[in-house]
Structure 1
Amino acid sequence: MFPVLGGTARRRSRASVLLCLLLLCVPLAGCGAGDVAGSVAPSASASGSADPVARDVRRAVADWSAAPPAALAAIPLEGWSYEVSAVRVDGVRAFARAQLRYRLTGYDAAPAGSAREVELTRAGGSWAVTADRPAPGALPQLWDQGPVSVERGEHALVLGGSGQSSGSLSAIAAEADKAVPAASAAWPRPWAGRVVVLVPASLDAMAALLGRPADEYRGLGAVTTGRTGAGPAPADRVVVNPEGYGQLSAEGRQVILTHENTHVATRAATTSRTPLWLSEGFADWAAYRESDRTPAEVAPALARAVRRGDLPGELPTAAAFAFGGDAEALARAYEGSWLACRLIARRWGEAALLSLYESSGRDSLPAALADTLGTDAAGLTRAWREDLAREFR
């Protein structure tokens, strides 16, 4: 699942920062068609299709939006269109609420969307577009923040915000090109095998894209946007925090991108039924699958807790992943989830772990555990607690 991050990030130890970098994911919000129609009431005099003024405004928007702007020529866009839902006329000015639809060629299985407000001015009897911006309350696109640079990898398309250098974007593309096969190796199920990475100009620009306060992402390396569940995914994006990402080692960056790519790969199998400990633990398991780091190195917060006698009594609950609370507790939730998936892969086999992931998205967890592992929640929890005690004694 892609949990919503909430609250204000507290100051963390370096170890906790690295853990939290292992990756919180956020849902795409504010871009549904309903956002356009519901955000403004059409004027009584200019909303109907029979109204000649509204009809002229709609026609002007259609003509203007027949192709992407020249400034976006480097971005591989297709299916570019604006669907006007409401028109408001104020003298020689008009404001059209519209839904922008587009795809990134070769990456988007279904159109991405953006609620827009198009401003027009009438001169000489005709309407001309003078501004195009996010509709009130809607999230901006990367290009709303300034010029966008493009770097292509074998498996990745990297879009950089204003001021991002070609060198830094090329490096991220190369790192993503390693992360995609790593995610595919951990999740050998059909998925696109490609990723779009957005690198905004700054932490503040990242927060604006996601519609959340900047403090929620301070210290994090990246997040993922997207919808869970079966069906075409119109907007799977990995969004990099240029400040947090730049502070990581090469290994840390690879872990982050593999984790995030695993969320993209497993998106269709992830539903509201999927426990957070399983979705986040699986992504970490994929990220560390080929690593030779020990559990104590990967899970320092949990190791400290167990060694002082604080052995967790249950697998991490959804509440344990709430961002903005106790950083050590959040770290333990992620670390414990990783160790649970690691245990399943080692005791029952990697195939069983994958089957559990798929089954838990369709059925109840008790049914999924019984069908795939032949155990119940109590049995898995007991085995997990015994494994923690053994690893961190």
Structure 2
Amino acid sequence: MRTVGHLLSRPVAIGTALVLVMLIAGFVGWRLTGGGEYVAPTPSAAPTVRADTVAGRDSLEELVAGVRDGAKPEGKGAAAVATRNADAIGIEGLSARYVAESGNVDEDGSWTADVDMSWRAPGDPTLSEELKVGFDGDGEITGFSADEGTRMPLWLSGPVEVRRTGSTLVVVQASAEQADRYAELAASAVKQVRTVIGWDRPRLVLEVPASGLDSALGAQPSTYSSVAAVTATVDGSSTAGSPLHVWVNQDVIGDLDSPGAQVVITHEAVHAATAAPTNPHRPMWLVEGYADYVALRDTTLPLSKTAGQILAQVREDGPPKHLPGKAEFNTRSEHFGAEYEAAWLACVVLAEAGGQEALVDLYEQTGRGVPLERALRASFGFGVDELTARWRTHLSDSAR
């Protein structure tokens, strides 16, 4: 009793006493009921959702078989769309190897996996990419995508319209009417190029994504946001002889009228005909200027339309002191567009000085590795300094 009375007589110790009493009571109760060693209860775990990888692999095998057999399945599912696209384009040799899950499985059982895929389009080498493939809870394919830096094949990214002739193949993510328009642009481009260049076995492939070019080319976001079209190897290499395709940016070319769009496609067709992206010898101004020379050869548009940007710069700052170099053709350049116009006018100066055949000869010689100075003197009788002087004078006179 003293102890209790002592505790109660000191308010500060009341809480401690109560806790002590409760602990003793608990101990006594445990002893009286004969309990053994105390074990905390195990919390119940939420059920684990697992990916049905067997069904996913089966779906990939069905896709491969469908493409191999030329199937044309009904429906709007990603696998059905891809199979129909493959048949329309002529995709062959498809393989799809399931690698591993990518990320967590959702509560509904859907998931994404990394899949090594290989395929071959007519006239192209076998291409391989590790792509992301989405699956639903039943293992059915829901879509295809690619990590940044990986090229996303157009035939796997949604429905396409396909148009082909003996010399062109056009694959478009757009309406049938728009596909017809791009097919006409491609056919006209081949004809225009062949009036200037000896393109004996023309093959022009246009790929037109629904929006932008960055995903299709495996580029950083916004790299090609201002570019109307790009000619590049199908495998992203710079190896000579690699097949070339032209990727068209609908977000840019869609704002152009028919003559403007034709200039863009013909310009890129020149690059394809001369394997420009894989030739390291020619100066950039000649590569781009020559392509515009062919594309604008029969135009009746005024200089205010075809060279308005560079002439505005000349009026403000005077003519450039040198022909545009590789750095000036950066897609993020402040004056992107003016450089192309300046390069085109350099080729116009050359054609006026020595004729079109001399310009074509210069382009071919430099492509074979002949130094620019020597090739200029062989075709025109003057070198780079004289060309630069004539070009600057032409710019100044045109800007008046």
TM-score over 0.5 for the pair: yes
d(CA) in 2 for partners of 1:299 and 1:146?
A: 38
2:163 to 121, 145, 151: 151
Query: How far has the Cα of 1:265 moved from its partner?
Result: 0.9
Residue in 2 that maps onto 1:76: 89
- Indicate whether 1:266 and 2:274 are aligned: yes
Change (3 A) 1:242 1:61: closer
Q: Which letter maps to 2:279?
A: T
Residue in 2 that maps onto 1:279: 287
* Count of residues paired in the alignment: 316
d(CA) in 2 for partners of 1:279 and 1:288?
A: 14
Query: How far has the Cα of 1:211 moved from its partner?
Result: 2.2
Q: Which letter maps to 2:265?
A: L
d(CA) in 2 for partners of 1:195 and 1:250?
A: 19
- Indicate whether 1:172 and 2:182 are aligned: yes
Residue in 2 that maps onto 1:387: 394
Change (3 A) 1:73 1:315: closer
Change (3 A) 1:134 1:119: closer
d(CA) in 1 for partners of 2:300 and 2:388?
A: 25
Query: How far has the Cα of 1:182 moved from its partner?
Result: 0.6
Query: How far has the Cα of 1:292 moved from its partner?
Result: 2.1
TM-score norm. by structure 2 comes to 0.68
Query: How far has the Cα of 1:339 moved from its partner?
Result: 0.5
Instruction: Give the RMSD, CA atoms, in angstroms.
Output: 3.5
- Residues 47-78 of structure 1: CA deviation (Å, up to 9, x unaligned): xxxxxxxxxxx9x9899746726333542325
2:209 to 187, 200, 208: 200
Query: How far has the Cα of 1:87 moved from its partner?
Result: 6.2
Q: Which letter maps to 2:157?
A: Q
d(CA) in 2 for partners of 1:270 and 1:219?
A: 23
Contact 1:270 1:358 (8 Å CA) reproduced: no
Greater C-alpha radius of gyration: 2
Change (3 A) 1:165 1:117: closer
Contact 2:100 2:114 (8 Å CA) reproduced: yes
- Residues 345-386 of structure 1: CA deviation (Å, up to 9, x unaligned): 121121211121122122322232233333221121122222
Residue in 1 that maps onto 2:193: 183
Alignment of 1:220-235 (within 5 A): 220-226=227-233, 231-234=240-243
Change (3 A) 1:380 1:230: farther
Query: How far has the Cα of 1:314 moved from its partner?
Result: 0.9
Change (3 A) 1:165 1:390: same
Structure 1 unaligned spans of 5+: 1-57, 122-127
Q: Which letter maps to 2:231?
A: T
Question: Which aligned runs of 4 or more in structure 1 are off by greater than 6 angstroms?
Answer: 60-64, 86-90, 118-121, 128-132, 227-230
Query: How far has the Cα of 1:326 moved from its partner?
Result: 1.2
Q: Which letter maps to 1:103?
A: A
Contact 2:232 2:277 (8 Å CA) reproduced: no
d(CA) in 1 for partners of 2:239 and 2:86?
A: 32
Which structure has more relative contact order (CA 8 Å, sep 6+)? It is 1
